[in-house]
Amino acid sequence: MKKVLLSEKIDDKGIQLLKDNGFDVHVSAGTDVETMKKEIKDAYAVIMRSSQLPAEVIDAGEQLKIISRNGTGINNVDVNEATKKNILVAKVNGANAFAVAEYVMTTMLLLSRKVLTSNKLIHEKKDELAAIGSLPGFSTQFSLNGNELRGKTLAILGLGKIGQELVKLAQVFGMNVVGYDPYLKDSPVKLYEKLEDIYPIADFLSINMPLTDETKNMIAEKQLQSMKKTAFIINSARGGIINEDDLADALNNDVIAGAAIDSFNPEPPAPDNPLFTSKNTILTSHMAGTTIEANQALGLGAAQAIIDFSNGKVPEFPVNQEILQK
């Protein structure tokens, strides 16, 4: 019976699908290097969530044939080492696209309508409400009357499956949507060729790109200074694309109006991460794409890639498919 190692537990439906297809499923006792090296030694396949799979762990997999990523991003897997070892890397595309797009819309609404600020103040000043006389008066006194999304410009950096789901949702709200994606041939919205042209026009900037050498620290002081003072940034992609020190400075000095950050560099963020004390900042726990529905789809997709490969089929989303030609 072939062993499938899960670096971290995936959705139960994915586990059951593997068992129904004759695999022996084990959840690793830990995600640290030494534990993973022991656990992976006799594994035919491994499913990775967000923890790291470095070269030394891959090398310890004496029977390893496929690495299946329970998600889209592969920056936590040493793909080059896997390719050297003739190990296929596969991923799951699009399973959580709607969830991430929905997260972006949710945080844009929370920021634009000042919902969290209002919630905080109404709790803090509950004893003063009667003296103020009316809740609309309270909102006016404390500048809680936010803005509508309608008519605002949303700039999406990266128009893959997530970005295109986001386009549809934003247009329902009457937003003007533009984008940047140098790899896209057919776009549902106007594309800008230069990033420096898109920052000044954005009321909301949504980052939906992978972390690569090209995108690392792509948004730093210079880019933030070029944005509107009323602009908001939402990063539901990967930490490291935005320089966190520069973003915190921009937020605390009113260079931009606010931000929602779901990914950090590194993860988890250190206690002294400057975003913990930056103004008007929503911080979440890498949860944008992890709804119950999305987790089920991701787990099933990651499991199916292993089943397909074991049956001599090419998984739906191979990363280093050049090894299949050997």
3-class DSSP assignment, residue 242: strand
Q: Counting beta carbons within 10 angstroms of the beta carbon of residue 267, is it exposed (0 to 12), middle (13 to 18) or buried (19 or more)?
A: middle
- Tell me how far CA of residue 97 lies from CA of 23, 92, 108, 300, in angstroms: 28, 11, 17, 15
From 8, 26, 221, 286, active-site residue: 286
Indicate the residue type of 221: E
**Exposure string over 149-161, b if 16+ CB within 10 A, otherwise e:** beebbbbbbbbbb
Q: Which residues contact 18 (CB under 8 A, 6 or more apart)?
A: 4, 25, 303, 306, 307
DSSP per residue, 52-80: -B-HHHHHH-TT--EEEESSS--TTB-HH
User: Edge-to-edge, what's the strand order for the sheet holding 66-69?
Assistant: 24-27, 3-6, 45-48, 66-69, 88-90
CB 164 within 8 A of CB 190: no
- Tell me how far CA of residue 106 lies from CA of 225, 242, 308, in angstroms: 25, 20, 36
Indicate the residue type of 31: T
Catalytic site includes residue 286: yes
From 238, 244, 316, 322, active-site residue: 238
Which of 200, 214, 209, 210 lies closest to 180 in space, CA to CA? Answer: 209
Catalytic site includes residue 267: yes
From 8, 81, 221, 267, active-site residue: 267
Distance CA 150, CA 299 (A): 36
Catalytic site includes residue 238: yes
Token pair for 287: 């949860």
Token pair for 67: 């690495």
Please identify every residue annotated as catalytic.
238, 267, 286
